[in-house]
A and B are shown apart, each in its own frame.
Chain A
C-alpha cells in the first residue's frame, strides 16, 4: 500500500480531523502519493517551507487561524498548487481562498474520484508544460493558434469577448475560476457589481458552444463560486 517511491509527488495534507486525515492518507498512499500531515496552520507552514510539497490539500476550518491566510502566506513564496476543502454553505470562504491564490476547491463530503481529479488538474497546471496549441474536449476543439473553435466538426463563430472567455477557461481546463478572476482577465477589472457581465456572456457562449445549453457538458457552473471548463480527460 505505502508506495514510498521518492520520486512520487509529495502531498501536504492540512486537516485537523484525525478521521479525515486517516482516510486521505490511506487513499493517497494507495494511489502512489507520498503524504505529509499537518493538523494546524502553523505546522503546515513549517512543513511547507521545509519539504516543498508538490501539492497542498487544505481544510479551510483550522483550529489556529484560517486557511485563507495560510494560503496567502504560502503564496508569498511558492507556486505549489493548493486545493482547499470546505463545507457546503461556505461558498464565500471558497471564493476568498481562490482569490487568495488557491487553485481549486472541494466541498465536504466529497468522493475520492473528485479528489483525484482536482489534484490531477492542479498538478498538471503547475507543471511547466509547453502551452498547447490545441485543446480537444471530446467534440469541442479549440485551436489557439488559428483562433478557431469547432464543435462536432462544425465551426463555431464567437464574438471577441466570448472567445476570450472560452479561451480563458480552456487554458485552465478542469480548474475552477471565480467570477472575479474571470472579470479581471476578460474585462480587465474585478468589480463585483458587474458579476452579471460574466453570467450573461457565459449564457451566450453556452448557446453557441453547448449541444444542449440547458444541460451544459463543458461550461459548468460552480454554484456560488464561478465556472469550470469540464475536462473529462482528467475525470472532472
Chain B
C-alpha cells in the first residue's frame, strides 16, 4: 500500500520528479525484495489453501523451487491431492511435558532457502518455545531472508477489522495479524465464493469442522454472518485495489481529486474501550489516507493502578502494531495537553470515546469530552461509543500511604495541645478565636500526615470544641444551632486541606520521579560527551542503563552473525539463549526478548541501535526483578539507547578520522625517513663490505697493521650502523604512538651515571662535571627513555665539540618542576639551525661527523611523552646548553627502612 503517496503528490499536471524517482526506486526495491502473496478469504472453507496449492503447482511446473512450509489439508481429499509432488518441509517436533507439539521449522526453512515457501494460516500462533510468538513474524524473517512467501488469511484475523467481525459474529477472534503485514503484501488474491455455495459445501462435509468448535462454528456459519464477512473481505480487497489504482494514477501524473492531508489523533486511556477507539481511528485513517497518532495523557494528579498501566501499554502497543504513532503527553489537564498537541501537529480530527461514568464525576472533576469539545475549535471531533461489553471500571485507587498509627497519635496530640492552649486562654479568647486554634491544629496535622489522621483531627477538634467550649459545657449537647455550622466548617476545612496536601505531595513525588529520569538522561549524555572511543561509549551506556533500570547489561556489536561484546556489567550472565537473542536482534534490527512479541520467554530484553558499516550494535538487559519493563521504563530505555547510538556514531566517526590521519602521517613519515636514511645506511655498509672483502681477497699481502686497521674499521662502522638503526627504531616507536611510558621513581644521579657509563668509550678522557643538588626529588620518568634522552644529548655534545672541551651536567628544582641541563663549551649552535634542531634529519654540517639527525628529535619526542619540554640556549662564553624541564610531581611513598633491622 502506497502509504507515502499523499505526501509526495502535488496538485500539478506534471508529476513531481523527485516523487516519481522515489516511486521508481520503490518499485525497483519491490522487484528486488522477496514477495509476499496473501490468499484472502472471508471464512474457512472458501478454498484459500486449495487455490494457493494450485498456484504453487503451476510455479513448480515452471521449474520454480517451491517448498511447502505448512499446509493444513483439514482432511480434504482434493487439497491433499494437490500436495502430491510438492516438497514438504518436515515439522519441528517439540516436547511439552507429555504432549508432543509440532510446529513449522523456521530455521530449517531459512537454511533451505527455497524460491517460494508456502505457509498456511498467517494468523496462526506458534507453540511456546519457538522463536516468535506469531507466524506472521516468521513470515517477516523469511521475507527478509529473500524468500517469497505464499500464505492464507481470513478477514476476521485482520487486526483493524477484528472488533467489527466480533460485532457481526459475536465470536471473539484472538489470533490477529497487523494491518502492516497486509500493506507489506505485494499481492492479495481474493478467494471468493458465494455465501450459499459455502453453506452448501459445509453441508456436503467439505469444510472440516473440529468437534470442539462445532457450536461456535455453527454460530459463525450463519448466512447473515457470512454475507457480512464476505462484504468486509471484498471491501478490504477493494481498498487495496483502490490504493493500487491511485498509485498508478499518481505515477501517470493524473490530477486526481485528492483528500487534503488529514491527521487524526485518537485519545487512549486505560479503559478497555480504548482498543476499539484505536481500531476505529486506524480504519478512519486508512479511509482518509491520513497519518494518525494515538495520545495518552499521563496526569500527575491521578496515577494509574498497575492493571491500568498495563492496559494503557497494551493499547499503545496495539497502536504501534497498527502503524500509528504513539504520543505520551503529561499534563494535569488532559484536555489542554491533548488540544495543545493537536494544534501544534496540525491534527484535523480527534477521535475520542463517549464517557461511561456518571454525571457526578464530570461535575466534580470536569469532563474531558466537554472540555475537548469546547476547545477543539476547527478540529473535527469523532465521539465513539464505548464497547457494550466493556467491564465497569473500578475507580482508580490512589496509592495509599501505609497506615501509620503514629500519625493518628500525632493528630490526637495536636488536638489535645490545641485544647489545652484554648482552655488556658479561655478567659481572654472569644469562641471564634478558639475555632481558629482548632483550624490551625487541623492544618498542621494535614500538612504533616495523611488523610486519615486529618479526618481524625477534624472530628476530634469538633468533639473537643463542643465538649469544652460550647455551652452547655462538658457535654456533647449543643444549645445553639449556630454551632452546628461551625462544626461543619471545621470538618470541611480539615478534609479539604488534607486532600489538597496529599495531592500536592503526590505531584511533588511525580515531579521528582520525572526529574530523576530527566537528570539521569542528562547525566548519561554528559558522560557520553566525554567518551573518547566506541568501547568507552559502550561502557558508559552499560553502566547507566544498569543503574537506571536495575539489571545486568551487555552492549555488543558486530556483523556477519558474530557479535563481540563491547562492554558489560560485572554480573552479565553468559547464556547461549541470550546469544541467540542478540544475534536475532542484530540481524533484524527490531526489539526482542522479555516482554516483546519475539522470543518473549527470554530472560533478557534486547534493543537494537541503528546500523552502521561494521554491522549492528545491540543492547541487552536482564532485569534483576525478572519482570518485563513497563511502558514508561521501556520508553525511557529507548531514549537511553538513542542517546547511546548517537554517541557511538560520533565515536566511530572520530575513530575513523583519527585512523585516517594517523595513516596519512605514518605514510608521510615513512617516505621521508626512507629517502633520508638510505644514504646513512649505505655509507657504513659500504665501508664494512670494503674492509671485509679486502681482508678476504688480500690476506697474504696485508701487513698486520693494515689488517688491524681494517678490522677496526669494520667494528666502528658496525657500531655506527647499530646506533643508526637504534635511533630509527626509537623514532618510529615515538612517532607511531606505540611508545608506552613506563614511569618509575628514579634518582637523577642513576640516570646520569648510567648514560655516562654507556658512553664511556666515546667520552675518553674528556672532563665531565656533574652537579646534582642533594635534595633533588626523585624523577617520575621512564628510566630507559630518559636515560636515552640524556645519552643523546651527551653524544651530541661529544660529536660537535672539540675533544678537550669539558661537558657539564647540572640539575635544579624550580617552580616549573625539575630542570636538567647538559652544557657544552663548543662552537654553539649554527644560526641556520636555530629553531630547527629538534626536527628530524636536521644536523650540523661538521666535517667528519656522522649521524642521521635523529638524536635531538628523539630527545624531544621522549620529553613530549613525559609532558616535559626541551630547549636550547647559548652557553655563556660560547657553546650550547640543552635544558630539559620535567613538570613537578608528587613524591612516591617514603623510602622507609621497614624490614631492615638487622
Residues in chain A within 8 A of chain B (CB atoms) = 88-89, 91, 109, 160-161, 164, 186-189, 193-197, 199-203, 206, 213-216, 220-221, 223-224
Kindly state whether residue B657 has any CB partner on chain A within 8 Å.
no
**Once the chains bind, are A214 and B770 in contact (CB under 8 Å)?**
yes
Which residues of B are found within 8 Å of A213, using beta-carbon distances?
749, 753
| CB-defined contacts of A91 to chain B, threshold 8 Å | 784
- Complex: A161 Cα to B895 Cα, angstroms: 12
How far, in angstroms, from A105 to B277 measured CA to CA in the complex?
85
Q: List 26 A-B contacts (CB under 8 A).
A: A88-B726, A160-B900, A160-B901, A161-B900, A164-B900, A164-B902, A186-B900, A187-B899, A187-B900, A195-B745, A196-B778, A196-B895, A197-B895, A199-B747, A200-B747, A200-B778, A200-B895, A206-B753, A213-B749, A213-B753, A215-B760, A215-B768, A216-B757, A220-B753, A221-B750, A224-B784
A69 to chain B, nearest CB (A): 23
Distance in angstroms between the alpha carbons of A196 and B900 in the assembled complex:
15
5 closest residue pairs by CB, A with B: A196-B745, A214-B770, A221-B754, A160-B902, A161-B900
B-side contacts of A206, CB under 8 Å:
749, 753
User: Quick check: A223 and B787 within 8 Å, CB to CB?
Assistant: yes
Q: Is the pair A214, B749 in contact by a Cβ cutoff of 8 Å?
A: yes
Contact A203 B747 (CB under 8 A): yes
Give the contacts of B741-794 with A (CB-CB under 8 A): 744-747, 749-750, 752-754, 756-758, 760, 768, 770, 772, 778, 783-784, 787
Q: Is B718 an interface residue (CB 8 A)?
A: yes
Assembled-state Cα–Cα distance A220/B751 (Å): 11
Closest to A189 in B: B899
> A199, B750: Cβ atoms under 8 Å?
yes
Residue B892 interfacial (CB < 8 Å): yes
- Known pairs A215-B760, A215-B770 / 19 extra A-B pairs, C-beta < 8 Å: A88-B726, A89-B729, A109-B718, A187-B899, A188-B899, A189-B899, A196-B745, A196-B892, A203-B750, A213-B749, A214-B768, A214-B772, A214-B809, A215-B768, A216-B753, A220-B757, A221-B753, A223-B754, A224-B784
What is the CB-to-nearest-CB distance from A63 to chain B, in angstroms, rounded to a whole number? 22
B897 at the interface (CB under 8 A from A): yes
In angstroms, Cα B750 to Cα A215, docked, is: 9
Closest to B755 in A: A223
Q: Which residues of B contact A186 (CB under 8 A)?
A: 900
User: Given contacts A160-B900, A164-B902, A214-B770, is CB(A196)–CB(B744) below 8 Å?
Assistant: yes
Q: Does B722 contact A (CB under 8 A)?
A: yes
A145 vs B819: C-alpha distance when bound (angstroms)? 44
- Chain A residues lying within 8 Å of B901, measured Cβ to Cβ, are 160
Smallest distance from the beta carbon of A137 to chain B beta carbons, Å?
16
Which of B726, B754, B770 has the most chain A CB atoms inside 10 A of its CB? B754
Q: List residues of chain A with CB within 8 A of the CB of B754.
A: 220-221, 223
Complex Cα–Cα for A201 and B750 (A): 11
Min CB–CB distance A96 → chain B (angstroms): 14
Given contacts A89-B729, A161-B897, A196-B892, are A202 and B750 in contact (CB under 8 A)? Answer: yes
Interface residue ranges of B885-901 to A (CB < 8 Å): 892-893, 895, 897-901
Asked whether A109 and B745 contact (CB < 8 A) given A164-B902, A188-B899, A203-B750, the answer is no
B89 to chain A, nearest CB (A): 51
Residues of A within 8 A of B747 (CB): 199-200, 203
A220 cross-chain contacts in B, Cβ below 8 A:
753-754, 757
B809 contacts which chain A residues (CB < 8 A)? Answer: 214
Nearest-neighbour CB distance to chain A for B716, whole angstroms, equals: 12
CA distance A91 to B785 in the complex (A): 12
Q: Contact between A201 and B895 (Cβ–Cβ < 8 Å)?
A: yes
Bound complex: CA A161 to CA B893 (Å): 18
Complex contacts, A89 vs chain B, CB 8 Å: 729, 733
Given contacts A89-B729, A109-B718, A221-B757, contact A203 B749 (CB under 8 A): yes
Within 8 Å CB of A203, what residues of B? 747, 749-750
A196 touches B768 (CB 8 A): no
Q: Check B753–A215 contact: CB distance below 8 A.
A: yes
Taking CB atoms, residues of chain A closer than 8 Å to B900 are 160-161, 164, 186-187
Which residues between 209 and 235 of chain B lie within 8 Å of chain A, taking CB atoms?
none
Output the residue of A193, A206, A214, A224 with the most chain B CB within 10 A. Answer: A214
The CA of A203 and the CA of B779, in the complex, are separated in Å by 13
A223: which of B760, B772, B784 is its contact (CB, 8 Å)? B784
- Give the chain B neighbours of A215 by CB distance below 8 A: 753, 756-757, 760, 768, 770
Contacts of B893 in A (CB 8 A): 193-194
Contacting residues, chain A, for B897 (C-beta < 8 A): 161
Cβ–Cβ < 8 Å partners of B750 in chain A: 199, 202-203, 221
Q: Measured between C-beta atoms, what is the minimum distance from B692 to chain A in Å?
A: 13
A residues less than 8 Å from B749 (CB atoms): 203, 206, 213-214
Counting chain A CB atoms within 10 Å of each CB, which of B747, B752, B756 scores highest? B747
A residues near B770, Cβ cutoff 8 Å: 214-215
- Mark each residue of chain B from 730 to 745: 1 if its CB lies under 8 Å from any CB of chain A, else 0: 0001000000000011
Cα distance A91–B782 in the bound complex, in angstroms: 12
Q: Is B757's CB under 8 angstroms from A195's CB?
A: no
- Collect the chain B residues with CB atoms within 8 Å of residue A202's CB: 750
Partner of A195, one of B729, B744, B760, B898: B744
In whole Å, how far is A163's beta carbon from the nearest beta carbon of chain B?
8
Interface centre among A186, A199, A202 (most CB of B within 10 A): A199
> In the bound complex, how far is the Cα of B532 from the Cα of A228, in angstroms?
44
User: How far in angstroms is the closest Cβ of chain B from A36?
Assistant: 28
A224→B783 contact, CB < 8 A: yes
Neighbouring A residues of B768 by C-beta, 8 Å: 214-215
A201-B894 Cα distance, complex, nearest whole Å: 12
Asked whether, in the complex, the Cβ of B745 is within 8 Å of the Cβ of A199, the reply is yes
Q: Which residue of B lies closest to A203 (CB)?
A: B747
* Set of chain B residues within 8 Å of A195, measured between Cβ atoms: 744-745
CA distance A223 to B726 in the complex (A): 15
Q: A109 to B726, alpha carbons, bound, how many Å? A: 11
Q: Complex formed: what's the CA distance from A200 to B747 in Å?
A: 7
A49 to chain B, nearest CB (A): 36
Q: For the complex, give the distance between the alpha carbons of A91 and B747 in Å.
A: 19
* B772 / chain A contacts, CB cutoff of 8 Å: 214
Of A88, A187, A199, which is within 8 A of B746 by CB? Answer: A199
Report how far A161 CA is from B757 CA in the complex, Å. Answer: 25
CA distance A89 to B778 in the complex (A): 24
**CA A196 to CA B898, docked complex, whole Å:** 14
Interface set, chain B 439-487, CB cutoff 8 A to A: none
Contact of B752 among A161, A201, A214 (CB under 8 A): A214
Taking CB atoms, residues of chain B closer than 8 Å to A161 are: 897, 900
| B896 nearest CB neighbor, chain A only | A197
Q: Which residue of A lies closest to B786 (CB)?
A: A223
Question: What chain B residues lie within 8 Å of A197 (beta carbons)?
Answer: 895
A121 to chain B, nearest CB (A): 18
Quote the shortest CB–CB distance from B334 to chain A (angstroms): 64
Min distance, Cβ A50 to any Cβ of chain B, angstroms: 37
Complex Cα distance A84/B534, Å? 41
- A196-B899 contact in complex given A109-B718, A221-B753, A223-B784, C-beta closer than 8 Å: no
A197 to B746, CA, bound (A): 9
Chain A nearest CB from B755 CB (Å) reads 9
**Residue of chain B at shortest CB distance from A210:** B753
Residue of A whose beta carbon sits closest to that of B721: A109
A109-B718, A202-B750, A223-B783 are contacts. A214–B902 as well, Cβ < 8 Å? no
The smallest C-beta distance from B613 to any residue of chain A, in angstroms, reads 36
Of chain A, the residue at the smallest CB distance from B729 is A89
- The distance in angstroms between the C-alpha atoms of A102 and B770, with both chains bound, is 35
Minimum C-beta distance from A215 to chain B (A)? 5
CB distance from A198 to the nearest CB of B (A): 9
Tell me, rounded to whole Å, the shortest Cβ–Cβ distance linking B756 to chain A.
Answer: 5
Bound Cα distance A196, B889 (Å): 15
On chain B, the residues within 8 Å of A187 by CB distance are 898-900
A13 to B809, CA, bound (A): 43
Tell me, rounded to whole Å, the shortest Cβ–Cβ distance linking B199 to chain A. 84
Give the distance in Å from the alpha carbon of A223 to the alpha carbon of B786 in the complex: 10
Say how far B402's CB is from chain A's closest CB, in angstroms: 54
